[in-house]
């Protein structure tokens, strides 16, 4: 009977199926217990998180000269968004802890010198999670919104152009083909020269921030936000202005929050790639020397993954594919520094005590 032994490791601890199930149940309980305080914290600060996640949208709207804000289209939308944001943010926060518990369960079947990688899982995962959140919030989400909203707001101004049907009706009316309406059906319109109509002159100061002590009823324009503001009754009231466009995006708060959460959660998962590569290399599934020969395929896989994690516009896809490939190279570096142990030596127990 051949026994699997290693020159440097003690014998591998064996566990029954019941023991494996008990260990899995314990790790799941530990993972949920770690999720509970994060969920309570996110519920406590849920309103702040919702507003915080809208900041990239506000910045893009100000840059494009669009009215700031999003809208609710259902009485329960505000509460639903609050619960969704708290739940997803708590999962993102506890992701390193959950990966640590998963690796603790896997490490029960490894040798002791393989298990020391468990200590590296939580800090590396937490650092990658923070990098993913920052990259999504400050880079990917604003660029995606700038491209998508800029596309909808970039249609040309029609100016005074009339629809073709309106031009046909006006031409037919002037030629007598269409009889005029009966008396009293529509008042006659008098063409008035705008140059002869006196218009009052109103000068609105253009400022970069609100005045320190505005007078009651004072009006000013804040740029580049493009907001017309006035001070009435001890508070500042604002009216957002926008440039003329045939299409104005009316954004739902629920759709915007879902968009931001989807992109952020996908980026956080994608940024765990170096950790997954390190663990696979540590347990001997694949080596860095084998993976480095497939760099071209890895670049293609990063592009496909970026297309799945983003709204699939070309700019956002490129912006995410580049750091994903850099994380792949970082994963190769971690695999080289965390090499798997030497293959155990098979010793025949029947010939173990035979004299030489």
Average pLDDT over residues 98-107: 78
Dihedral pair phi/psi, residue 49, rounded to 5°: -65, -40
Residue with tokens 């590569």: 277
Q: How do residues 32-69 score in pLDDT, each as one tens digit? A: 888 899 999 999 998 999 999 888 888 888 787 777 77
Element (H, E) at 220: strand 219-222
Q: What is the CB neighbour count within 10 angstroms for residue 328?
A: 20
What's the CA gap between 245 and 49, in Å, rounded? 32
DSSP string, 186-246: SPPPPP--GGGS--------EESS--SSPPTT-EEEETTTTEEEEEETTEEEEEE-----S
Q: How do residues 133-183 score in pLDDT, each as one tens digit? A: 999 989 999 988 888 887 776 666 666 555 555 566 666 556 555 565 555
Q: How do residues 248-276 score in pLDDT, each as one tens digit? A: 677 888 888 888 888 888 898 889 888 88
């Amino acid at each position: 009977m051949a026994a699997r032994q290693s020159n440097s490791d003690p014998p591998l601890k064996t566990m029954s199926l019941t023991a494996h199930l008990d260990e899995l149940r314990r790790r799941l309980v530990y993972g949920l217990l770690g999720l509970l305080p994060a969920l309570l914290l996110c519920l406590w600060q849920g309103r702040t998180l919702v507003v915080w996640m809208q900041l990239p949208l506000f910045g893009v709207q100000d840059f494009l000269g669009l009215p700031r804000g999003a809208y609710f289209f259902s009485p329960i939308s505000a509460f639903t968004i609050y619960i969704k944001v708290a739940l997803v943010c708590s999962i993102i926060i506890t992701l390193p802890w959950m990966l640590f518990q998963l690796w603790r369960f896997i490490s029960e079947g490894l040798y002791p010198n393989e298990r020391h990688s468990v200590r590296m899982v939580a800090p590396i995962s937490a650092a990658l999670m923070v990098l993913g959140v920052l990259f999504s919030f400050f880079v990917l989400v604003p660029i995606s919104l700038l491209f998508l909203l800029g596309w909808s707001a970039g249609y040309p101004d029609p100016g005074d152009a009339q629809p073709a049907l309106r031009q046909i009706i006006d031409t037919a009316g002037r030629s007598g083909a269409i009889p005029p309406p009966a008396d009293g059906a529509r008042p006659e319109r008098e063409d008035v020269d705008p140059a002869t109509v006196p218009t009052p002159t109103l000068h609105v100061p253009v400022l970069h921030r609100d005045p320190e002590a505005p007078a009651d009823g004072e009006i000013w324009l804040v740029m580049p936000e493009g907001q017309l503001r006035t001070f009435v009754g001890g508070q500042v009231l604002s009216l957002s202005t926008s440039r003329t466009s045939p299409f104005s995006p009316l954004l739902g708060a629920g759709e915007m929050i879902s968009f931001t959460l989807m992109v952020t959660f996908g980026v956080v998962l994608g940024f765990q790639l170096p950790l997954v590569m390190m663990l696979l290399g540590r347990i001997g599934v694949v080596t860095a020397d084998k993976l480095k020969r497939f760099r071209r395929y890895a670049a293609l896989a990063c592009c496909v993954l970026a297309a799945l994690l983003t709204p699939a516009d070309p700019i956002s896809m490129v912006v995410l594919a580049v750091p994903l490939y850099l994380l792949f190279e970082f994963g190769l570096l971690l695999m080289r520094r965390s090499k798997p142990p030497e293959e155990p030596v098979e010793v025949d127990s029947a010939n173990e005590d035979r004299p030489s």
